[in-house]
Amino acid sequence: MTDIPRRTAARTAKLASLPLGVAGRAAAGWGRRLVGGDGEEISAQLMAKSAEQLFAVLGELKGGAMKFGQALSVFEAAIPDEYAAPFRESLVKLQTAAPPMPSADVHRMLAEQFGRSWHTRFQEFDETPAAAASIGQVHRAIWRDGREVAVKVQYPGAEEALRSDLRQLSRMSRLMQPLVPGLEIKPLIAELRERMEEELDYRDEAENQRIFAAAFDGDDKVKVPRVVASAPRAMVTEWVTGRKLSDVIRTGMQDDRDRAAALLAEFHYSAPARVGLLHADPHPGNFQVLDDGRLMVIDYGAVARLPEGLPRPLSVMVRLALEDKPDELLALLRDNGFVRAGSPLRAEDAVTYLAPFTEPLHTETFRFNRRWLQRQAERVGDLRSPDFNTGRELNLPPQYLLVHRVTMGTLGVLCQLDAEVPLRGIVGHWQPWIFDAEDESAGRHL
């Protein structure tokens, strides 16, 4: 049997070593400054070295650390290029790669989940993992009826390891914060902890995937693999493969980038209305472009449950910002808990803060790129910026946290794709009340 305590201790030791490495480099950097080194150059070197160590360690881990790395990879486009370049490839690897689980552990887990005769369910089973997920790995196989299938098997001790990783990452959040200006690390880790329980039971993921597959059955833009079998720690789905979105980001022609970005935007903005759920893990490792042009979406362990569609206050706020109606916007923000109690926030400051985020909806198409996202991160994260002070007066109610993070994560991937996207038309189709205040449903849920 696998020595789970020893593995967890090793993981904890690796994570715990990160602050020491970062602190040591910081001390060395201050020493060079005292003897006349260039401050900005030294800071850039420290950032690159710290990031290199961080992602090298995350890449050797599973569970919470890999999950955190995947979530962080979505926001890679917001990191200034001089910092991002040294470790961009490491972030890409975190989306799909992790050390493989020994075959003996795979067999034991499958026997626990599907019975000692689990192998009779398959005509063939490839012992070499085809991919890694945050808390499991995927094997290619042939189901007993001849279908090619993907078999996801959870790592032994995943729950214990996940909790240990997240505890360590919480302690390190302040050291990681400079790597991603404009993104609050602590709430991201807290949210990962909250989502952990539902992701550990693959039966929940299988049910989510069945709902998405039914909603997108026969769709000409999105493909969701069907679920073949499921158990608490293992699940079997159709095997479907295409071009990884990370490959489109790295080497795709502009037409490929634009089409992939439009498909991703369509999937994100249509799901609440079509499915009543929102896929809540939008890192590039969960998307592929099929030969027939459709976007294939996997990994439904984390979802936002939106049975009545996207919460209407969010889209009405966008409409009021687009229409430059500061007083109405501020009233709506206050009524729905988006402004801290007793805050002296002015209506015009709220509009100024939100205006850049609504910029992609002002024109028929919008060019998403890293520089645009970096400007937004700098604007809200710079202590000297008026928008920074405005942001301190705002509050994100817990019920909107996941929707906000997923939307920002999706925009981050669009920026990684450096794509021209007809976002106004896509959003207008699924949320028409944003552009038409007279829409008959515009007043619901407010």
For 265-324, write each residue's pLDDT tens digit: 999 999 999 999 999 988 888 999 999 999 999 999 889 999 999 998 998 999 999 999
Residue that wins the pLDDT comparison between 422 and 82: 422
User: What mean pLDDT value characterizes the chain?
Assistant: 78
- Within 10 angstroms of residue 325's Cβ, the number of other Cβ atoms is 16
Q: Which residues pair with 295 in a beta bridge?
A: 222, 289
Q: What is the predicted pLDDT for the residue at 185?
A: 60
C-alpha 414 chain-centroid distance: 12
CA distance 333 to 40: 39
For 204-235, write each residue's pLDDT tens digit: 999 999 999 999 999 999 999 999 999 999 99
Residue that wins the pLDDT comparison between 286 and 10: 286
Closest CA to 150 of 159, 142, 158, 161: 142
C-alpha gyration radius of the chain: 23
Per mean pLDDT, which of 33-42, 188-197, 328-337, 376-385 is the most reliable?
A: 328-337
Q: Which residues pair with 278 in a beta bridge?
A: 304
- Within 10 angstroms of residue 24's Cβ, the number of other Cβ atoms is 11
Residue that wins the pLDDT comparison between 4 and 243: 243
Please report which confidence band the pLDDT of residue 26 belongs to, taking 50, 70 and 90 as the band edges: very low
Q: What is the predicted pLDDT for the residue at 39?
A: 45
Helix/strand/coil for 221: coil
Is the pLDDT confidence value at 56 over 80? no
Sheet of 287-289: strand order equals 222-223, 295-297, 287-289, 243-244
For 93-137, write each residue's pLDDT tens digit: 554 555 678 899 999 999 999 999 999 999 999 999 998 766 788
Is the pLDDT confidence value at 90 over 70? no
The answer to whether residues 406 and 396 touch, using CB atoms and an 8 Å cutoff, is no
Q: What is the mean pLDDT of residues 254-261?
A: 98
pTM (two decimals)? 0.77
CA distance 280 to 407: 9
Is the pLDDT confidence value at 259 over 60? yes
Is the pLDDT confidence value at 4 over 50? no
Burial of 363 (0-12, 13-18, 19+ CB in 10 A): exposed
For 312-363, write each residue's pLDDT tens digit: 899 899 999 999 999 999 999 999 989 888 889 999 999 888 887 899 999 9
Across 59-63, 126-130, 254-258, 292-296, least confident range? 59-63
